[in-house]
Amino acid sequence: MAARYTATVEVTGEGRNGGVVRAMDGQLEHRVAVPKELGGVGGATNPEQLFAAAWGACFLSALRTAAAERRIRPTETEITVEVTITHGDDGEYSLSVVLTPRLGGVDQQTAEELAAAAHQICPYSKSTRGNIPVVVNAGTL
């Protein structure tokens, strides 16, 4: 399989604790900080937000692809992505995700079928499958 695109991002500083993420093409530059909820200073983007944003954007594209393959035309699409970081009793950190896509112009069953199909298409869904808990809660607008 031929590579279609490679995103290159540099992270400087102390990573999630006051670092800066920069895309080499200049299209992304954000300070990152540990959220207040995790004992950090907050006030900046954190890796979980970036991951949620990337997965959400990718998932909506996959949802549109799944709909087009079935000749279904949602009137609108949106998604809420919740990425939760957990610190277990074993001292290890882990992630879990809830994807809540919503579609306009379709019924609930169709929304669920398209979300399930998108979850099979989306590269983020594929990459995390079996590695972290993921819940998909499709709905309508």
Question: Are 77 and 92 in the same domain?
Answer: yes
Q: Which of 90, 86, 116 is nearest to 103 (CA)?
A: 116
Q: Are strands 93-104 and 134-136 parallel, antiparallel or unpaired?
A: parallel
Per-residue pLDDT for 15 more than 90?
A: no
3-state secondary structure of 72: coil
CA separation for the pair 53, 81 (Å, rounded): 7
Q: Give residue 76's Cα distance to chain centre.
A: 19
Handedness of CA 12, 49, 126, 58 (dihedral sign): negative
Question: Are 95 and 32 in the same domain?
Answer: no
Q: Are strands 9-12 and 134-136 parallel, antiparallel or unpaired?
A: unpaired
* pLDDT of the residue at 3: 85
CA separation for the pair 102, 78 (Å, rounded): 5
Higher confidence at residue 17 or residue 128?
128
* pLDDT of the residue at 25: 96
pLDDT band of residue 16 (cuts 50, 70, 90) is: confident
Number of domains in the chain: 2
50-102 tens-digit pLDDT: 999 999 999 999 999 999 999 999 999 999 999 999 988 898 999 999 999 99
**CB neighbourhood size of 33 (10 A):** 20
Question: Are 60 and 70 in the same domain?
Answer: yes
Structural domain including 19 reads 1-45
